Amino acid sequence: MQGWLSAEEGDVRTAVAILQPVLSRARDSLDSWPWSPPWMRTLAGIGVAAGHAPFAPFAPFAPFAQEAATLAELGAKRNPTVASLHGIALQTRGMVEDDPAMLGKAVEALRQAPRPLLLAAALADHGRALLAADQRADGIRLLEEAFTICDRVGAARGARVTADALRKVGVRKRRQHPAPRRAVSGWASLTEAEAHVAELISAGHTNRSAAAELGVSASTVGTHLRSVYGKLHVRSRVQLTNALHQRPGREAGQSAG
């Protein structure tokens, strides 16, 4: 979590330093969260952003991005029937190789997956790549589609980021659907931090080891975990793990191992 927050604040140097040990252990780890499709794209994106920074020639950011793409490809290989993982593997490789054609293949693969926000992120990545390649009309079209998806499902941050990208090329978008209120219980009610804690605890982490992975204190993990228990109406780690496996929308056959 600390690495992700550092990246969100624009400090990709710190983000890579924090996340590098996590990424290097991911292949042999039994933890599920590094294999989550959104995290794969996030890790690759942080590596690519670091590689574009002014200090990039003096730090090993290219290997970090390459390892993130390789991890995504390994996840797809281990789960050949999961469309989301196949699409993310193409997307992360396309990002790392700066390959618009591969990003286009990622979009087509993710159109077959049941996760609209993964598709929106792939559309946005492909759209930005096309704009960079002076294919303005196609790039704008994909960014507009990404914005529409984010707007429709209430993904306020995704809609805002995509709208900002469109604004830079002279296209203004306004949200048509207000962001829905957060649910008070169930998986939809979890904050991003709580969801990460739930994934780690369900994968077998103790509060202390989950805290080490996220870069926070064990007491913070405990606070999040108590909130997760209350929102999901579970009383133990076993019940939490069962609830995670039975979560609506979880793709059949998805596995980290």
Q: Provide mean pLDDT across the span 144-156.
A: 89
Please write the tens of the pLDDT for every residue from 27-47. Answer: 776 666 666 788 788 888 887
59-63, 92-96, 121-125, 149-153: least confident range: 59-63
Q: Provide mean pLDDT across the span 231-250.
A: 84
DSSP 178-236: PPPPPPSSSGGG--HHHHHHHHHHHTT--HHHHHHHHTS-HHHHHHHHHHHHHHHT--S
pLDDT tops 60 at residue 56:
no
Please write the tens of the pLDDT for every residue from 106-134. Answer: 999 999 998 898 999 999 999 999 999 99
Would you give the DSSP letter of residue 185?
S
- For residue 36, the model assigns a pLDDT of 76
- For residue 58, the model assigns a pLDDT of 40
Q: Provide mean pLDDT across the span 156-172.
A: 91
Would you give the DSSP letter of residue 250?
P
Kindly indicate the confidence band of residue 252, based on its pLDDT and cuts at 50, 70 and 90: very low
**Helix, strand, coil percentages, rounded to 5, for the chain:** 70, 0, 30
Please write the tens of the pLDDT for every residue from 167-197. Answer: 999 998 876 665 556 677 888 888 878 888 9
Task: Answer whether CATH 3.40.50.2300 is correct for domain 187-245.
Answer: no
Total residues belonging to the chain: 257
For 147, phi and psi rounded to 5 degrees? -60, -45
Q: Sign of torsion, CA 201 206 207 209?
A: negative
Which residue's structure tokens are 């159109």? 111
Count of alpha carbons within 13 angstroms of residue 65, beta-carbon side: 23
Instruction: Answer yes or no: are the C-beta atoms of 47 and 16 closer than 8 Å.
Output: yes
Instruction: Answer yes or no: are the C-beta atoms of 16 and 230 closer than 8 Å.
Output: no
Kindly indicate the confidence band of residue 2, based on its pLDDT and cuts at 50, 70 and 90: low
CB 128: neighbour CB atoms within 10 A?
Answer: 21
Instruction: Answer yes or no: are the C-beta atoms of 51 and 65 closer than 8 Å.
Output: yes
Q: Report percent pLDDT > 70 for the chain.
A: 80
